[in-house]
Chain A
């Protein structure tokens, strides 16, 4: 783990409290780069995160079954070569298929993938239909043709019943930073996703309406889809970075006194869910 966080956190840790904190596996591969923020987010939300390299899962020195939450952070796993998240997805489905299957079959587990992590989740097939090794949706090149780093507004899909999304309403600010974030699939699959209310968030304009307009919708995602869950609501992926909006000062306009921290509640919900799940 990054030394800097370790130094300051170990000092703040309360002895004995570790026991009740759900263990979070923050998955790292070559090129993963938002693992520090993901770790911080779960720490603040009351989890017990640990950064684990995929090689440690492969060689058995770490086991998914020892954790309750699997978090796939942003970055450029293996350079996002071929397409984003592809190489890591192949690695996971080739070597950790059984472990992942067991993990999602448990009722007390949660999976979150952000940005590159979301790209990995759809390419493993975990999202949207929990079919490991079968891909039904993709995240492809932004319509603009380039990487985009900016703050955008999203709105929760009230019909999605995932516990991770509870207590959220109205437009929320989140930062995006990606070049391949356009949610895309065939008409039939899109209909199925909509019918089953798997959409978690949509990009919205100033009036709070779902939008296809750039840059409010930064990538041209179909139906302004920001992120989705599976049917159980326990696997969740999205393009923006909630882990980078854990404290007010991370928003460019906090000095104007008009922003609400939007990222933290997602992590608090996840931690709460796995704590209560049995």
Chain B
């Protein structure tokens, strides 16, 4: 018997519904009164409709629509209800919760939720046990092998034939579990086949991308504790500790179920930190998203894709609900918009942690060591996540791969982490492994490579009966981790798990067989050679070619300039304004036009204030944040990077930052990537960091690696390698996701602008010696420090100027490839000058230049300082340019920051340049003599930004008016 309790909160017209199975009506009443409702502001009914209270009458004919999670989808509330009922002495068999809406428009995601139309007879899921199947592969021809692969395996013919050969050799056919294990281990997601492939770029052989990255990185090992070998990269910190970082993407799940996708993305990356070495503590998280503009017309949304506004809102909600519950501060992130992200959003989640160095490296398992699963139970959810995310997005993706989507339960993960840190501190653990993409198959397959393992899947705790062994093995049910420990530590480990309410099961042990032995009870369901599993994957040789077109970039660009745009199903043939040459945009002619253009830039999705999002994330938990996301008189000036004190009683700290620019990458993958890395490191330096004490993490979110996209990926990797060379700092972790291409039924192909996201993790001896962006006082001198490129290709400024209409074929290559090129030689000197200025307390505030340009940076500093500025720009002959140490005046002009045209100067977005506030001119002269710099003006009382060019007024804008425009877009999205 199921008792149905409805609860309404005063003033709200959605009704919470609880179904309690196994309770009497009397018991349901006890639960309704003590647990499910509160008399101060709620009322309830049992097995009866509720009369709405405190809300206006509903239009006639509107009846309640009940939305519930589908059976089998994680509903985190269920466990709590069961627990509290038991605490109150009431034994339930099962329960569920859902919501009744009285609105005419109810939105829900049919992948995970459904409309309840019939009262369920029971809430228990009962299925017949499924059997292990043998899949005949030995006699299949090439086409049949491909057909088999295309269903779920996503392997190519050569790989399928390698598998066929192996089973011919051992004279039997594989089980479903074995085939799934191979497909998962060899998937792009787990195997990084493209990054490990031998390359032929424009006809010339090149080393694999991974080899090039690792080789350069390991040359700069001063701060490396472990790189590329664990679930996160670890760098040296102070007092015997290491700090670690991992950045992941969760694009595919987020594309079809953004709330669950963002949650499980966060949960997964936190587990990567927790599964570093013998366990690390999470101290921060970052979130970086790319979507199509939220005002994208519905007609331009490809079939099978979700609208960007919905994606943005739900992704943010997912991050909020997971990160906040975990008690991990989310204090750094960004949101970027470009039309071509309508193909697939980019959702990047980062996590950072700390661990004593003595626990930072995994111990090698020994014969007889136990393999233990802790945390959540295993269900059918998330099967094929790893292989699914390696595939492209199509109009079928939503329907076919829905089982790859899940909802997270943060509290389950939180208590696992609490327990694991306790166990680590008692030195009970050999190693911890995350159970993420590929489930047990991936986690256990990896750690068992050397010794071999025996696993009995019958021991795995299940959410419900009826899972086939291969499903248990492949399931990506969230909040599970694998722990390896010596048999003698089992008792103590069990006790700790019990204390923290963590479920626990011994799955198997290391057996020395060098095989993957999987059984279900007495039935053998898998028996693979570890060597074949891990080394049998044929190495790929992949070709990359520069697009033959004059335009060295991807489809987005080709679309824009192609006179045959219709071929790509694009009705609009105008030129993407970002690609125009500088001189094709005219300088604003009047004060009014200046202000209008500035407002457009500030309201641009890539520039506008993200404060309403940041306020939804708990960025203050752990109490470690010594430089918060926003500061200034009204606490609304955005800062460049958070600075954290992981030990509240120690002065030293961690700085975390990131940078990316998909727009530039789509024009010029090399310089776009240099820009991203420069921006990331500039954010780090701008708050006071010394770049020599930083490590990098690179994430590539790319279209499917066809020859052209692989060419741009190759260029991007070249850029990252060059960047490491110049700054002598390493990449310590990274990830690639090469499936962001959309293929529609009607032949539409959309590639996202390629994303290289560089994250920075570094240390600083004293968090007190850091600065924020808000102007600190009136009358200070404002200085531009760093060498500016003259190019504005890919800038926000070009994006908001009236669309150029003309013959696209007339555009010369130079015009569109002119993205800002950062001068890396000067950049290290610039970084040193900024660092020194902050350490000595002479720089009062600093902000690096990125989207929005110089004027955008100054504006944000005015917001924080609640003040105005007077900026004086003198064009070339104005004579304000300085570069001491050189007597060659022409050289000075070339090397310095010449103002040719005020608009191109003010909206310039060259990364690696800084706006800083110093007491007076002589401070600037003293600190910046070895780098290009330019004194721009002074801070002023009041809220006016006054901009002059050659002593003539260009425009005056009111900071508070601009602020409204700058804050409005995200306030509208997140009221």
Q: Mark A residues whose CB is within 8 Å of B.
A: 2-5, 7-9, 12, 28, 30-31, 33-34, 36-37, 40, 44, 53, 55-56, 74-76, 78-83, 86-87, 90-91, 94-95, 123, 135-138, 140-141, 144, 146-151, 175, 177, 184-186, 241, 243-244, 246-247, 249-250, 252-253, 255-256
Contacts and interface: CB of A to CB of B under 8 A. Distances in A.
B464 interface: no
18 contacts: A8-B647, A8-B650, A31-B325, A31-B415, A37-B622, A53-B499, A76-B410, A90-B87, A91-B83, A94-B89, A136-B40, A144-B975, A146-B616, A147-B320, A148-B615, A244-B621, A249-B626, A256-B633
A175 B620 contact: yes
B285 interface: no
Interface stretch (B73-81, B144-152, B392-400, B726-734): B73-81
Contact of A249 (B9, B36, B39, B767): B767
A140 B89 CA distance: 26
Given A249-B767, A252-B630, A34 B327 contact: yes
Contacts of A30: 411, 414-415, 500-501
A37 B630 contact: no
A249 B499 CA distance: 35
A150 B634 CA distance: 11
B43 interface: no
B411 A33 contact: no
Interface string B614-640: 111111111101111011110100000
A30 B418 CA distance: 9
Given A8-B649, A252-B631, A82 B425 contact: no
B776 A83 contact: no
Interface residues of B, number: 74
B555 interface: no
A243 B616 contact: no
Nearest to B321: A147
Given A30-B414, A78-B80, A250-B625, A149 B421 contact: no
A78 B623 contact: no
Contacts of B356: 3, 7
Contacts of B418: 28
B635 A36 contact: no
Nearest to B648: A40
Q: Which 8 A-B pairs have the closest CB atoms?
A: A33-B327, A81-B80, A252-B631, A252-B628, A37-B623, A244-B623, A79-B411, A138-B40
B31 to A, nearest CB: 10
A95 to B, nearest CB: 7
Chain A at the B interface: SS class: mixed
B325 A76 contact: yes
A149 B625 contact: no
A135 B41 CA distance: 11
B615 A149 contact: yes
Nearest to B777: A256
Nearest to A256: B776
B617 A255 contact: no
A5 B620 CA distance: 18
Given A135-B39, A244-B621, 11 more contacts: A3-B421, A5-B647, A5-B649, A31-B410, A34-B623, A40-B648, A79-B325, A94-B89, A149-B617, A250-B625, A255-B772
A76 B648 contact: no
B177 interface: no
B38 A135 contact: yes
A94 B281 contact: no
Given A34-B327, A146-B616, A186 B40 contact: yes
A246 B324 contact: no
A55 B327 CA distance: 20
Interface string B76-94: 1101110110011100000
Given A4-B281, A81-B76, A82-B77, A90 B616 contact: no
Contact of B35 (A82, A95, A175): A82
Interface of B: 9, 34-36, 38-41, 76-77, 79-81, 83-84, 87-89, 239, 241, 281, 320, 324-327, 354, 356, 409-411, 414-415, 418, 421, 424-425, 498-501, 614-623, 625-628, 630-633, 635, 645-650, 767-768, 771-772, 774, 776, 974-975
Contacts of B415: 30-31
B324 A147 contact: yes
A177 B623 CA distance: 12
B279 to A, nearest CB: 10
B413 to A, nearest CB: 10
A175 B622 CA distance: 12
B9 A53 contact: no
A3 B632 CA distance: 34
A110 B34 CA distance: 26
A252 B80 contact: no
A241 B621 CA distance: 9
A243 B623 contact: yes
Given A4-B354, A30-B414, A252-B631, A246 B616 contact: no
Contacts of B324: 76, 147, 177
Contacts of A144: 975
A74 B324 CA distance: 11
A140 B10 CA distance: 11
Given A37-B648, A147-B324, A247-B648, A31 B414 contact: yes
A155 to B, nearest CB: 18
A8 to B, nearest CB: 5
A2 B633 CA distance: 35
B242 to A, nearest CB: 12
A232 B414 CA distance: 36
Contacts of A80: 325
Given A76-B325, A147-B324, A81 B650 contact: no
Given A4-B281, A90-B88, A91-B84, A78 B411 contact: yes
A12 B620 CA distance: 26
B44 to A, nearest CB: 12
